[in-house]
Amino acid sequence: MSERHDAVEVIAAKRDGGALSDSQIDWVVDAYTRGMVADEQMSALAMAILLRGMDRREIARWTDAMIASGERMDFSTLSRPTADKHSTGGVGDKITLPLAPLVAACGVAVPQLSGRGLGHTGGTLDKLEAIPGWRAALSNEEMLAQLDDIGAVICAAGSGLAPADKKLYALRDVTGTVEAIPLIASSIMSKKIAEGTGTLVLDVKVGTGAFMKTEALARELAETMVALGTGAGVRTTALLTDMSTPLGLTAGNALEVRESVEVLAGGGPDDVVELTLALAREMLAGAGRGDVDPADTLADGSAMDTWRAMIAAQGGDADAALPTARHTQVVPAPSTGVLGRLDAMAVGLAAWRLGAGRAAPGESVQAGAGVEMHAKPGATVTAGEPLLTLHTDDEWRFERALAALEGGYDVAAPGATVDTSPLVIDRIG
């Protein structure tokens, strides 16, 4: 056990811009996990870290302390290599759903430990729980057996894996400290390193709908996480990807599941397919299977077979009808022309306010709530025709969702050309 400190001393050291010692970091993470440091104190420290930052040594030590708070998993008994993907969170980011079964169908096991929605960004587990019967909680034994049998699992991190992160993650969500790069990097990497995957590919979002609004911040986060992973012996690469416009044509839980199944069936929106394949190629290359083209696997139906097996193994019915919201409201195009911009943050906030996300830890979400997009930037739209459809179980939510969308899109003159960012901006690692 590290030497004893007190919470106020550690908070004050960071508040005043100092670097925390290894001993201070070890103590405060351990004491918070065991309930000896109060939420109010950790909230103050998280805000001090957000405002003052941490150097690479502090971030690495903080990550190690979070890993040490729990168990480490071991996939060495599996007959195939392992690869995992983590996205820093965006709007309409349902990529994990088609990606995990696709990579598994290519011969690489995917132990995908996923999370709940955080603020305006959707959570993979919330999406999958829209499937009747599907369960997120698996024991380590169940997870290992499913990886051995099917090759893919998407589930919640067990309580034994980086329990410090579980507590801190929920606290950051409600204290305005989600965006702190040291806390994002250590949160993601503590879970992924403890999980024991051999290869990790990071999808680091940049743009209005991402936590990192600028390319410089996204790059800093990506480089920090790649260094943490590499230092821990995990083959780690990162793609910087655009999140100024939502991914695909849906933001919500059941809405995104439906779209993911379309991708596995060989259809779906071009951007979702493009990013799924780009990340699959990174994962396969890292796992030594760069000779396999995931586009072929997507086309031949084997990824869909793996999806159905994965859902069934976790109690879900892949054939069941997905929940739909009780109420819908159409947002018409204000004029005829070319959709010039559709802001990811505006759509994400609207989906959240419609009931697709939560405002406090432990709140339930609506499976059918969200936003359906009928056009993406560059497409021609006609005045009065549907631009967006809002879905919710509570009619009173429409007003607040419409307020979130105000100023979130604009229509250029007919024939105008729209500059759209490339989906994959850069690769790091």
**pLDDT score, position 255:** 98
| pLDDT higher than threshold 60 for residue 2 | no
In a domain, 339, yes or no: yes
Closest CA to 2 of 32, 17, 22: 22
Look-up: residue for tokens 């859902």? 311
The mean pLDDT of 190-218, rounded to a whole number, is: 94
The tally of domains found in the chain comes to: 2
**pLDDT score, position 119:** 67
**pLDDT score, position 388:** 98
Distance of CA 65 to the CA centre of its chain: 23
Which phi and psi (to 5°) does residue 368 adopt?
A: -90, -5
158 pLDDT band (50/70/90 cuts)? confident
**pLDDT score, position 16:** 98
pLDDT digits 0-9 by tens, 87-111: 988 999 999 999 999 999 999 999 9
| Whether residue 372 is found in the same domain as residue 291 | no
DSSP E strands in 142-226: the ranges are 152-156, 199-206
**pLDDT score, position 118:** 64
Closest CA to 421 of 229, 117, 218, 152: 218
Q: How far apart are CA 278 and CA 289, in angstroms?
A: 14
Q: How far apart are CA 410 and CA 416, in angstroms?
A: 12
Q: How far apart are CA 188 and CA 328, in angstroms?
A: 36
In a domain, 48, yes or no: no
The mean pLDDT of 281-310, rounded to a whole number, is: 97
| pLDDT higher than threshold 70 for residue 153 | yes
pLDDT digits 0-9 by tens, 44-78: 999 999 999 999 999 999 999 999 999 999 999 99
Cite the active site residues: 86, 165, 172, 187, 191
421 pLDDT band (50/70/90 cuts)? confident
Pairing of strands 199-206, 235-242: parallel
| Whether residue 401 is found in the same domain as residue 262 | no
| Whether residue 343 is found in the same domain as residue 306 | no
In a domain, 165, yes or no: no
Residue 204's contacts (CB-CB under 8 Å, 6 or more residues apart) are 88, 212, 218, 221, 222, 225, 238, 239, 240, 241, 428
pLDDT digits 0-9 by tens, 368-413: 999 999 999 999 999 999 999 999 999 999 999 999 999 999 999 9
**pLDDT score, position 358:** 82
| pLDDT higher than threshold 70 for residue 115 | yes
| pLDDT higher than threshold 60 for residue 235 | yes
The mean pLDDT of 136-154, rounded to a whole number, is: 95
Q: How far apart are CA 288 and CA 301, in angstroms?
A: 23
For residue 105, give the CATH number of its domain.
3.40.1030.10
For residue 333, give the CATH number of its domain.
3.90.1170.30
The mean pLDDT of 314-323, rounded to a whole number, is: 97
| Whether residue 189 is found in the same domain as residue 94 | yes
DSSP E strands in 121-221: the ranges are 152-156, 199-206
Is residue 340 within 8 A of residue 135, CB to CB? The reply is: no
| Whether residue 115 is found in the same domain as residue 141 | yes
Distance of CA 339 to the CA centre of its chain: 27
Pairing of strands 83-87, 327-332: unpaired
| pLDDT higher than threshold 70 for residue 1 | no
In the chain, pLDDT over 70 holds for what percent of residues?
A: 99
Task: Read off the amino acid at residue 268.
Answer: G
**pLDDT score, position 298:** 96
114 pLDDT band (50/70/90 cuts)? confident
Structure tokens at 23: 């001993």
User: DSSP letters of 3-71?
Assistant: PP--HHHHHHHHHTTPPPPHHHHHHHHHHHHTTSS-HHHHHHHHHHHHHH---HHHHHHHHHHHHHTS-
Pairing of strands 110-114, 152-156: parallel
367: domain range? 327-412
CA angle 338, 343, 349 (to 5 degrees): 140
Closest CA to 272 of 112, 100, 423, 426: 423
The mean pLDDT of 270-288, rounded to a whole number, is: 98
Q: How far apart are CA 21 and CA 210, in angstroms?
A: 31
| Whether residue 109 is found in the same domain as residue 235 | yes
The mean pLDDT of 181-196, rounded to a whole number, is: 93
| Whether residue 222 is found in the same domain as residue 129 | yes
In a domain, 280, yes or no: yes
| Whether residue 336 is found in the same domain as residue 300 | no
| Whether residue 274 is found in the same domain as residue 386 | no
Of 120-124, 133-137, 354-358, 415-419, minimum mean pLDDT range: 120-124
Of 278, 313, 348, which residue constitutes the final position of a domain? 313
In the chain, pLDDT over 90 holds for what percent of residues?
A: 87
